[in-house]
Amino acid sequence: MKRFHLEELEKSYRENNLKFLNFLEKNYDVKSFRQVNYKGKERISRFILPEYLYYVKKGVLISSYYDYQGNRRSVNITSEGEILGITAFFYNTPQNWEIQVLEDAEITILPKRELDKNEAEVYNIFGSSLSYYLLMLSMGWQVMSSNGSERINYALILLTHKLGVKCDERYYLPVYVNHELIASFAAVSRSYATRCLQKLAMDGVVSLAYKMLYIQDKEKLFSVTPNYFFEDC
């Protein structure tokens, strides 16, 4: 059997995010912070500035990090209760991100100058989550250096982990997880993604019915994917 190496880290990470939300509501007038709303299918290109944290109140986003040469270096799914900008915040360095909105999103922008008023508590909460962010960033770099079919497998595993609903030993993905989105996630062409998905379907790993993608055999998908984020157990 294999399992996600990140499961325990992510559990702790989400507990810390909940602790942070409770901390915000107790110490700040959260409604006074700037709120931005995005509709599904929107794309946002911007620098994540170290002067802010971006708290996702609702929605699902694909966030991609680019280096200063314009190369895509990391990709991740961010959803309700998660935070963008942690590494920029800690290292005081702006980062170039492209964000694709999958489900209507509402984001609260938290100014560092306000958080600094309770600096010790803020850093204490996020310090324990920094290893999660660094591991996700490092893992994303590894993935984007692999070949196209491996990137598609990675995309399917992460999409299943973040968004999949398990039923009768298979995982249902939201209807917006289509060939085009998987191609975008994996930085390949749509036709290439379709060929890879057809091969996975022939191997009994995935299936497509009623315009929805299902993961039929998660363990088999693990077996043909480099060991980025799961371990034998």
Left if phi > 0, otherwise alpha if psi is -120 to 50, otherwise beta: which for 68?
alpha
Alpha carbon separation from 39 to 53, 186, 194 (Å, rounded): 20, 22, 26
- Contacts for 163-166: CB closer than 8 Å, 24+ residues apart: 163/60, 163/77, 163/79, 164/215
Residue that is written with structure tokens 């895509």 in the block: 72
**Average pLDDT of span 126-135:** 72
Nearest partner of 197 among 181, 176, 175, 219, judged by Cα:
181
In contact, 54 and 110? CB cutoff 8 Å: yes
Q: Which two tokens stand for residue 162?
A: 């973040």
For residue 5, name the pLDDT band (cuts at 50, 70, 90): low
pLDDT attached to residue 130: 72
The backbone torsions φ and ψ at residue 131, rounded to the nearest 5 degrees and listed phi first, read -60, -35
pLDDT of 227 over the 70 cut = no
Q: Which residues pair with 110 in a beta bridge?
A: 53
From the centroid of its chain, how far is CA 103?
13
In contact, 215 and 221? CB cutoff 8 Å: yes
Q: Please give the biggest Cα pair distance in the chain.
A: 57
User: What's the DSSP call for residue 81?
Assistant: T
From the centroid of its chain, how far is CA 119?
26
Sheet with 206-209: strands ordered across? 165-167, 170-172, 212-215, 206-209
pLDDT of 173 over the 90 cut = yes
Lowest mean pLDDT: which of 45-49, 54-58, 192-196? 45-49
The pTM score is 0.79
Q: Which two tokens stand for residue 221?
A: 């998908």
